[in-house]
Amino acid sequence: MKEKILSGLFFLVSVFCGFLYNPEVFRSAHGPQLIYFGFLYACLFLFCSLLFARWKKMGTVCIFLLHGIGLGLTYFYWVYGRILTYDVLAAMLEANVFEIKSFLSIPLVVTAILAIVISIVHAYLLRFVRISNKRWIASSLLLISSFLILKEGGKLYIDKTDPESPLRMYLATRNIVPLSFFSVFKTYWVEEEKSQRLASLPSPAELASQCGADKPIVVLVLGESARGDHFSVNGYGRKTNPQLEQVNHIINLGIARSFAVQTRNSLIGMLTNATEENRVPTMGSFIPLFNKHGFMTCFYSRQNKLGRSGHLTDALIGSSKDIRYFSSPTDQDLLKETEPLFKTYQHGLLLLLHTTGSHYDYRGNYTDTFKVFAPDEYTPESMMEHRQNVINAYDNTIVKTDDFLAKLYAQLKDYDAIVVYVSDHGQLLGEHGRFLHAIGGTGTEYPEQKNIPFFFWYSDLFAEKHGDIVAALKQASTSGKIFTHDYLYHTVIALGGIRSKAVEPQLDITGLGTLD
């Protein structure tokens, strides 16, 4: 009798977890719809339980994985509005120390402890499950058949009655835990294979090209998580750019659109010839082209590598002559490295600066010097409740970036120099009940993630020597066009005074980089 009760509890826990680990459906499903999804999840999790019971040693391991990942995902959904996707998985697997620390909180630790407790209890109950081969086969066939009938039947019903229903997405394999584990890991593996090919892409240096005698300093600042509509130079109501508003020689392209909603993908759109329409690049980074024409090429980053996190970046910037990763407290510390660099290589330098910019945790990403908007205190679990505080903290990171850029421009004012500032992607700040980024691969559902700043600064000497480039950029800034990362690759080449067969004229903002 005791064994039957404990065995029943084992299956009951499984069914309960089916609901617990698929929380997003509660956003849209009501009444009979919830009953339907209840049966769907029950069939799937009971089938998984039968698999655990059939192979108990492996099942015990799977139980700990299921509850560890499942409860963790539930926590991140309720706190940040995130579900498991390829982008989220990549962010988790490739997080650096700063990112990991930014998510740590007492509730998250409690969640981890709870996952361990549930796993231990569930694994203990598994010991009491006894089922014959015939009954196991019959039950498994019944449950998996019921699951498939409910899943596919639900799709057909929604397609006929309400094709636009958000419930349709909850029936996709990639959105049903634990099936989503396999779907997302498979996607990650495929994308990893693709990223490995970046290092073997044809180099633009192999194509015909020419370079002028006056080689400038070209600085590309890769901003992080900065939203264009939170820059006061773009009309934001708050004064987040008090210094840039006073700086001369800024050419602002306004609010632009990013290639992707996560750094690892956006870098492909920023540093290769991939475009929104043709997302697979056919040409490698522009860095070898600058090497070909005698430029010193450097990549300085404050986004430290951890494990596999840097391999995609390495494939794109590996040809730089000087590559450095810094663990300094703020972006401003990078300026200690740049000043002597500009003095040494003032006649031909390409410098890529990868900043932390407006990366989460916002409050931990700036010093009190830049605490302009207050209060700025919040916890991960209280972000929606204290949304204005979150926005205050985020805007303070923009103030920090404003100071960084103003000081960078000051270092370059006496040189033949031009600076491009563009962010990798935007950020959700509570819109649609969600925070952060990497939600949805295309970003169309939550466009704030692709909302980025894009502007140039040039020195007097650059204007004197490269007046045609300045004139072209100014003309583009008044065109009313919405610019994207598509233009960056081709325009950066032209800013160096290089004309190349790799440059596509329709994507070169200057119109001067094409070699006929």
What does the pLDDT read at residue 381? 77
Three-state SS at 429: strand
Q: How far apart are CA 210 and CA 208, in angstroms?
A: 7
The structural domains of the chain, with segments of one domain joined by +, span: 2-194, 201-507
pLDDT score at 446: 82
Q: Quick one: pLDDT at residue 443?
A: 56
Q: Which two tokens stand for residue 262?
A: 């996560």
CATH of domain 201-507: 3.40.720.10
Other Cβ atoms less than 10 A from the Cβ of 433: the count is 10
pLDDT tens, the chain, 516 aa long? 778 888 889 889 988 998 889 888 877 778 888 889 889 999 999 999 999 988 999 999 999 999 998 998 888 888 777 777 766 776 666 666 666 776 778 888 999 999 999 999 999 998 888 888 899 999 999 999 999 999 999 989 888 888 878 788 888 888 888 988 888 888 777 777 766 777 788 999 999 999 988 999 999 999 999 999 999 999 999 999 999 999 999 999 999 999 988 887 888 999 999 999 998 899 999 999 999 999 999 999 887 553 344 456 677 888 999 999 887 778 899 999 999 999 999 999 999 999 989 988 888 889 999 999 999 998 877 888 899 999 999 999 999 999 999 999 999 999 999 999 999 999 999 888 888 776 765 556 788 989 999 999 999 999 999 999 999 999 999 999 999 999 999 999 999 999 999 999 999 999 988 887
Q: Tell me how far apart the alpha carbons of residues 426 and 447 are, in angstroms, rounded to a whole number.
A: 9
What span, in angstroms and rounded, lies between the C-alpha atoms of 350 and 120? 55
Q: Which residues contact 445 (CB under 8 A, 6 or more apart)?
A: 432, 439
Beta-strand runs (E) in 21-128: none
Among 229, 332, 207, 313, CA closest to 270: 313
- Between CA 387 and CA 378 the distance in angstroms is 8
- Residue-level pLDDT at 87: 67
b/e per residue 298-328 (b: at least 16 CB within 10 A): bbbbbbeeeeebbbbbebbbbbbeebeebee
Residue with tokens 């909302």: 451
Q: According to the model, what pLDDT value does residue 309 have? A: 43
